[in-house]
Amino acid sequence: MPILLVEDDRELAHGLSSSLAQSDYVTDVVFDGESAIAACKRTAYDLLVLDLGLPDMDGLEVLRRLRRVGMSAPVLILTARFDLDDRVSGLDAGGDDYLAKPFALPELEARIRALLRRGAPQESRIQFCDITFEPASKQASIHGRELSLTAAEASVLSLLLRRPGRVVSKSQFVDEIYDHADEKNPAMIEVFVSRLRRKLAEAESRTLIRALRGLGYRLEQAQHE
């Protein structure tokens, strides 16, 4: 689940991003309001962690703008403002939860988990190029014809579809597919991708899975010849 962290304190931002990565969260980091708005236009994030004290505009203004253009992802507000009125303003602007600085990392992660659980049932149909994917049933179709996918293949496709045009590493696939440490087998990712490619080709899909050596895989749309 991709998370956007908006925090102008670069040391804190990178520290939080590293900690969240250890808990298997995919986190993008930006340091100002305009970058946050631009990032949300490019990517459908599952959660925003938003600091209010940004250098170019107040975090509440960022939140209001994002809500006005239809962003529905839950927002966890981080701030050094302790007043009740400030907390109320943040929630009224479209925030879903509020965490005052300084905070303990376990509490931050607990609040993130709660917000992601709350938002999970609202995950809607994903479409890219000629693929339609239903997250709830993990069913994919090409031109209206259902693809017969194993659970692992569906998980690989789901992760690629949630990050179209962006590289997904093998470790991210492993964390998506395997629940227990003793089951994890990175070598199998190549097998799942190969099978998925074959099924997309058989369905005459114009969607490609491109391998980037040493980095991972990326979903792309084939260009007209």
Is the pLDDT at 65 greater than 80, yes or no? Answer: yes
Residue 150 has which token pair?
Answer: 């194993």
What percent of the chain is predicted at pLDDT more than 70? 90
| pLDDT value at residue 123 | 57
| Whole-number Å distance between alpha carbons of 152 and 161 | 14
| pLDDT value at residue 82 | 62
Residue 76 has which token pair?
Answer: 């966890």
> pLDDT of 138-187, one tens digit each?
889 998 899 988 888 888 999 999 888 889 998 888 877 765 554 567 88
| Whole-number Å distance between alpha carbons of 151 and 183 | 15
Q: Under a CB-based contact definition with an 8 Å cutoff, are residues 153 and 166 in contact? A: no
- DSSP 8-state class, residue 223: P
| pLDDT value at residue 119 | 59
Query: Exposed (0-12), middle (13-18) or buried (19+): which is 125, by Cβ within 10 Å?
Result: exposed
Q: How far apart are the first and last CA of the chain?
A: 34
| Cα→Cα distances 221→130, 161, 207, Å | 9, 12, 5
| pLDDT value at residue 183 | 56
Q: Under a CB-based contact definition with an 8 Å cutoff, are residues 116 and 46 in contact? A: yes
What integer best gives the mean pLDDT of the chain?
86
Domains of the chain, with CATH numbers?
Answer: 2-119 (3.40.50.2300), 126-221 (1.10.10.10)
Half-sphere exposure of 185 (CA within 13 A, CB side): 7
Does residue 186 have a cis bond before it (omega within 30 degrees)? no
Q: Under a CB-based contact definition with an 8 Å cutoff, are residues 135 and 123 in contact? A: yes
- On whether the pTM is more than 0.85, the answer is no
| pLDDT value at residue 30 | 96
Q: Between these two residues, 47 and 117, which has the higher pLDDT value?
A: 47
| pLDDT value at residue 1 | 67
> pLDDT of 105-144, one tens digit each?
888 998 898 888 775 555 578 899 999 998 877 889 998 8
For range 16-20, the mean pLDDT: 91
Q: How far is CA 199 from the centre of its chain?
A: 25
Each as own residue / partner, the long-range contacts of residues 182-188 (CB below 8 Å, 24 or more positions apart, any chain) are: 188/152
Query: Exposed (0-12), middle (13-18) or buried (19+): which is 25, by Cβ within 10 Å?
Result: buried
Is the pLDDT at 50 greater than 90, yes or no? Answer: yes
| Whole-number Å distance between alpha carbons of 157 and 200 | 10
Nearest residue to 196 via CA among 130, 127, 140: 140
